[in-house]
Structure 1
């Protein structure tokens, strides 16, 4: 008999920014030429990181940059692994006039396979950094490696369609969207005959209605649904009321089971609403900012690995958070004062939503939330 609606575990990561310095240390570094105001060679980001924390192997194996995350993913074996891939995967195109342009050599795309990434959100402010040709290359390379994606496409229908991922006894639909305030220009919006991203004009009731109708067109009985949203600026813990209302509306009106928010370079608050998980900002999973000064109060070098257990109907059973620190362009374990900073910050920011934390035996944190019956 076909089994349906089994409990699942999802791994959720924040922004995966594997361009510039990350791309340069891998086995097939791309063209290091940058078109930024102050840095003209991607290798400079590697040197800045080495100056901060010590030597970095070159060439590095794909497993190197994942560090402790690789062992944790192997040990926990989640059913699906989802990230926001915030870079173009191309050798072609021309840098768009936006100041910072991310791309990785397609030959380095096995970076995703090392940890078994199943699905990528592509609705973000870097996927079109190298123009439409860069986006079409990105889509083709992900398809060629069997990595599902959502939020960008060759046309409007493709950008707005979900990635459909198989689960034990069912399937998961991954939808991805971006907002204007995450620096996604209107010119990047996918149209009937133009590649682009699924961009939300705003977070109004009208937009919510359109998105809910779209999701319900695809959703079948027994599906679990993740809405991955690139929203807000890079820095700041504040969560606008319109984001809260939109996330609640996705759960109430569209039947979304988990809201996967990102864009901030640091962690933000967590909420459990109607027994559904809302991650307002997952922070950066991996980037090359290690040697850059500024915004120290937000500790962008610290992050979390998110492991969410959902029941047969998509309700949250548990969320475990493993603290990480980016060091020598690799994901390492956050310990001591770094771990405590993550604990205290997340607890403080999530208190607004009635959430707290308790320690786990793996040196991580488990989310504690209010019983909805009270």
Structure 2
């Protein structure tokens, strides 16, 4: 068995991206041919959807919340035609327009054939994993976020799968991962963790990643920072952005990102979970993402190499990708 999963980070389809989708509801409007071809190499595509999809709802009543992201209903079909199999909504924008818009998001994505993890009508369903099936492999996807607590699903309220990872990993994420490992061949945990605009994972994120792996995760692929981090020990700490309309920070360069292609091979006695990680360099223009080139690509390669080296991992270039060497 060999399986390749395409993994993308923060995918924001609101504001300027939403206006573009109202004019052209096709994947080509948001992603270049090269990006779409890279996605087509994968057997499965999973990403963090950092918005709701709806034309209903009112803004979440928090006077300190600055950003509210809502995509038009057509966005669900765009994701499906892009080849997306599953999204996590366990993040700080799933409830930007309240429970009505969250319900629409789940319904529209289901109708388009895109699975959802990380949200639910109450805590138990929000914390449940999804199983994606290929011809020979069952892949379980687990979504969790460490912010905001106000969005957390409860026994009586819809919301996100929230865990206070800063205080340590509670029992439920580890229990979910363990149950997923018992039912599937591959377990992907995709957490929305840590603060925005950082270049390396904080200690609590690294500690949580180790706990997820110990519980049975094959791979952990995180997001939240809007800036990619390094990779080590089957953990992609942050994938950065995938598409948005954000202003670019000239130093952190959140307009330069990575699409990850992760290949999982047959386990064996000497290598129970062989995982190969390749990263495709991206340039995030205003509401449109293309492959990075020239100086953009060089900056990404240098930054990713340093970020991985800080975690004890080496990187080399191979067939247009940045490949993480396995120790």
Q: Are positions 1:219 and 2:181 aligned together?
A: yes
Contact 2:29 2:288 in 1 (8 A): yes
Q: Report the equivalent of 2:305.
A: 347
User: 1:169 offset after TM fit, Å?
Assistant: 2.0
Q: How far apart are the structure 2 equivalents of 1:73 and 1:238?
A: 26
The partner residue of 2:99 within 112, 115, 132 is 132
Tell me the alpha carbon deviations over residues 53-96 of structure 1, each in whole angstroms, 9 at most, x when there is no partner. xxxxx54743221112112223x1x1110000010011111011
The partner residue of 1:62 within 6, 18, 27 is 27
Q: How far apart are the structure 2 equivalents of 1:243 and 1:298?
A: 20
Tell me the alpha carbon deviations over residues 145-164 of structure 1, each in whole angstroms, 9 at most, x when there is no partner. 11111100111111000111
Tell me the alpha carbon deviations over residues 111-151 of structure 1, each in whole angstroms, 9 at most, x when there is no partner. 10222100001100001000111111111111111111110
Give the gaps of 5 or more residues in structure 1: 1-5, 30-57
Q: How far apart are the structure 1 equivalents of 2:55 and 2:92?
A: 18
The aligned runs of 1:59-98 (5 Å cut-off) are 59=24, 61-67=26-32, 68-74=34-40, 76=41, 78-96=42-60, 97=62, 98=65
The partner residue of 2:322 within 365, 370, 373 is 365
The aligned runs of 1:289-328 (5 Å cut-off) are 289=246, 292=247, 295-313=249-267, 315-328=273-286
User: 1:222 offset after TM fit, Å?
Assistant: 4.9
Q: Which moved more, 1:160-169 or 1:212-221?
A: 212-221
Q: How far apart are the structure 1 equivalents of 2:155 and 2:184?
A: 31
Provide the TM-score with structure 2 as the length reference.
0.92
Contact 1:11 1:81 in 2 (8 A): yes
Q: How far apart are the structure 1 equivalents of 2:183 and 2:130?
A: 17
The partner residue of 1:24 within 13, 19, 22 is 19
Contact 1:122 1:149 in 2 (8 A): yes
| Alpha carbons of structure 1 residues 281 and 206: separation in structure 2 relative to 1, 3 Å | closer
Q: How far apart are the structure 2 equivalents of 1:141 and 1:193?
A: 23
| Alpha carbons of structure 1 residues 216 and 318: separation in structure 2 relative to 1, 3 Å | closer
Provide the TM-score with structure 1 as the length reference.
0.81
Q: How far apart are the structure 2 equivalents of 1:217 and 1:61?
A: 37
Q: Secondary structure at the match of 1:307?
A: strand
Q: Which moved more, 1:65-74 or 1:12-21?
A: 65-74
Q: Are positions 1:196 and 2:159 aligned together?
A: yes
Larger radius of gyration: 1
Q: How far apart are the structure 2 equivalents of 1:71 and 1:297?
A: 29
The partner residue of 2:190 within 224, 228, 245 is 228
Tell me the alpha carbon deviations over residues 304-347 of structure 1, each in whole angstroms, 9 at most, x when there is no partner. 11101112347234221111102242211211111111111111
Contact 1:354 1:369 in 2 (8 A): no
Give the gaps of 5 or more residues in structure 2: none
Give the number of aligned pairs: 319
